[in-house]
Amino acid sequence: MPGLLAAAFALAWAIAHHGWLNPYQQQILMYVGINVILTASLNLVNGYMGEFAVGHAAFMAVGAYVSSLMTVRLFPFQAAPYLFPLALVAGGAAAGVVGLLVAFPSFRTRGDYLAIVTLALNMIVKSAIENVEAIGGPRGFLGMQRLTSLPWVFASTALALYVLRNFIHANLGRGVLAIREDEVAADLLGVDTRRVKLYAFVLSSALAGVAGGLFAHVVQFINPRSFDIIRSTEILVMVYLGGIGSLAGSVIGATFYTVALEWLRFLGQWRLAIAPLLLVLLMILRPTGIMGLREFVGLVPRDERGLRGRLARLGYGTVDSGGGAAPSAPEGSASPHGPA
């Protein structure tokens, strides 16, 4: 796995350095990576934890604005390319802090109310940015250099997936899955549900902030409208297209959606009408998304593969919903969802 990653990173570097793909194709690849981060991080909350958060673009906005402010206003022009990772981390941290603010009201509420809280947050963040003249208000903010490159996107995406993978398969992650199946039962079994939710929310929002920072430095122009509820909906679509509770699904969903929308460009405005129609069809025919709880081998830690894999093949731990709805594992399967 590390060898494969190193080779992929070298390839990403070579493409960017030697211009093997034209700038348009490179840009699409970068969007794919950014969308993978967004999708995978939202999947932690929506897919693995079974909550329903809808305002992911808010965290992206915080990350985009904070990191852009740093590279444009704080860092000297020449040093900005070297300090770029610092800006990304700061953007992620700021988004994480905002995620903390969402986590608290969400403890008091359950189910659909998290949707409302995150939706309200999305509106509030957008409206707040519009009202601050110092960062351009509704006109937006520009002046960023094009600091995001393919290797940066690749490294961030790989790191995000790695962190999420380890989180999900750590003790905290088992708590996350337990909350999805039944929050009350998880609480009774000694899962510190507040702490688990807090960590999951903060991690998810921080990663979205990093993605926002990358996004801002690709397009070099951000305005509040880039982070409205329509963008959030798009992220949701990618999550459910790929499959809930699956990192591989997030990768596939984000890639498929991003690339397909580019391919369909010849349809003009109709392409945006066809994409949601496909989503509706997908939900009716295959409600768990393309991957639906299955995982690629590389995205499961090695010591997790044996027993859980066998249990999954025996039919234990394959759950149809995972969406915060009724838990429906077969009788007696105490084991959570194994990768197939």
Partner 1 sequence: MQFLAQQIVNALQLGSIYALIALGYTLVYGVLRLINFAHGDIFMVGAFLAFFAAVLLDLPFVPTLLLSMAATALLGVLIERFAYRPLRNAPRVSAVITALGVGLFLEHFTLASVGAQPRHLPPLIETVVYRLGPVRVTTVHLVIFIVAVVLMVVLDRIVNRSLTGMAMRAVSWDKSVVPLMGVSVDRIIALTFAIGSGLAAAGGLLYATAYPVIEPYMGVLVGWKAFVAAVVGGIGVIRGAMLGAYLLGMVEILVAAYLPSTYRDFIAFGLLLILLVFRPQGILGRREVQKV
Residue from 20, 77, 82, 270 that binds partner 1 (CB under 8 A)? 270
Q: Sign (positive/negative) of CA torsion 246, 249, 253, 259?
A: positive
Tokens of 8: 């992929």
- Dihedral in degrees, nearest 10, Cα atoms 194, 197, 199, 205: -140
What residues between 150 and 209 interact with partner 1 by CB under 8 A?
A: 184-185, 188
Q: Which of 11, 229, 260, 340 binds partner 1 (CB under 8 A)?
A: 229
Q: Which stretch binds partner 1 (CB under 8 A): 12-20, 57-65, 78-86, 109-117?
A: 109-117
Smallest gap from Cβ 34 to partner 1, in A, equals: 20
Q: Determine, following the binding rule CB under 8 A, whether residue 108 of this chain makes contact with partner 1.
A: yes
Pick one of 175, 322, 336, 339: the residue that binds partner 1 (CB under 8 A): 322
From the CB of 68, what's the least distance to partner 1, in Å?
21
**Residue 138 touching partner 1 (CB under 8 A):** yes
Is 134 near partner 1 (CB under 8 A)?
A: no
CB contact at 8 A, 320 and 288 = yes
Q: How many CA atoms lie within 13 A of 250 on its CB side?
A: 29
Nearest C-alpha neighbor of 98 from the set 68, 129, 71, 75 = 129
Tell the smallest beta-carbon distance from residue 127 to partner 1 (Å).
4
| Site membership for partner 1, residue 7 (CB under 8 A) | no
Nearer CB in complex with partner 1: 298/327:
327
Stretch of 3-11, 19-27, 227-235, 329-337 contacting partner 1, by CB under 8 A: 227-235
Which residues are CB-neighbours of 224 under 8 A, at least 6 positions away?
Answer: 61, 126, 127, 129, 130, 138, 140
d(CA 198, CA 63): 19
